Amino acid sequence: MSEQTLRQWLLSDEPTSRRQARLSAWYQGWLAFRSNTLAMLGLLILVFLILCALFAPLLATHDPFTQDLAMRLQPPGESGYLLGSDSLGRDIYSRLLYGARISLYIVLLVAMVAPLLGLVIGTVAGYAGGWLDVVLMRITDIFLAFPRLILALAFVAALGAGIENAVLAISLTAWPPYARIARAETLTYRNAEFIHAIKLQGAGPIRIITRHIWPLCLSSLVIRVTLDMAGIILTAAGLGFLGLGAQPPSPEWGAMISEGRKYILDHWWVATIPGLAIFAISLAFNLLGDGLRDVMDPKGGTQ
């Protein structure tokens, strides 16, 4: 099949199979996303950061943990330090590359835990209704009543410092919005005719929720997850800044800013460069989330 024929097949108004319809929807969504310049910019920045994290051992010019006090606080571009050195003589450029691994690791784990927890709680509450809905939503309201960073600080203080505990704390504070979205979507669909038809075929509540309601909630959750990534990164950086996230000598960006704040007036690069890295990845996720919302949201998107 030639490229032109494949394109016509994907853009056909009358798909002949479920596979063609699904691929056509994906392709048209990609075309709509590609037309959004800012969303493509966010995607390119994110892909660039992921590649930097994956190939950090090849791209790094120094060992990120090796200290050289004789070369401490070197400005960018001097003595072989591309982005300068910190107060212990460690290469900031190399530490940024390895720090990207930590940030993306935290984002990936939180994105796997928090939306799934929110999806389960929200769909169960919305489908079951009654006292179970009231109990689950009041618990959700309690979590929403506290600022995310304050609540994460409380959980980390109880669990102890470290990356894993930081991920768990952020996940426990990030799930309520997903539960709210999933519940709203479930309330929209639970009395739909196709749900009644599925019940008449003998499907139980678990099958209805997992096989028919969850897929309908995914697009809204994906949009919210992408838009929330910037907040998750800032929360992780805040925990690292306070010494409650990744522990030294891990090259976590928030911890690097915390260390460099003492030298911000005379040696600006120590804190500014990690801050710019956090800004870049947060901006990338926000731009990507806006693009996905335009494509996937049937109420406000381009489709």
CATH number at residue 248: 1.10.3720.10
Tokens linked to 159: 């669990």
Position 213 in a domain:
yes
**What pLDDT was estimated at residue 11?**
73
Q: Which residue has the tokens 């056909």?
A: 12
Position 67 in a domain:
no
**Ranges of residues in the chain whose predicted pLDDT is under 50:** 300-303
Rounded CA-CA distance 98/1 in Å is 43
Tokens linked to 170: 């952020």
- What residues pair up with 23 in beta bridges, in sequence order? none
Position 90 in a domain:
yes
Rounded CA-CA distance 224/115 in Å is 9
**What pLDDT was estimated at residue 224?**
87
Q: Which domain, by its residues, includes 244?
A: 83-296
**What pLDDT was estimated at residue 1?**
53
Position 132 in a domain:
yes
The answer for residues whose C-beta is within 8 angstroms of residue 148's C-beta and 6 or more apart is 170, 173, 174, 231, 235
Position 245 in a domain:
yes
End-to-end Cα separation, the chain, in angstroms: 27
Name the residue among 165, 154, 172, 155 with its Cα closest to residue 247.
165
Position 60 in a domain:
no
Helix H or strand E segment including 222: helix 214-241
pTM for this model (two decimals):
0.83
Contact 241, 258 (CB under 8 A): yes
Domain count for the chain, please give it: 1
pLDDT digit string (tens) for 234-286?
888 888 888 888 788 888 898 899 888 888 888 899 999 999 999 999 999 99
The answer for residues whose C-beta is within 8 angstroms of residue 28's C-beta and 6 or more apart is 10, 11, 303
**What pLDDT was estimated at residue 303?**
39
Position 70 in a domain:
no
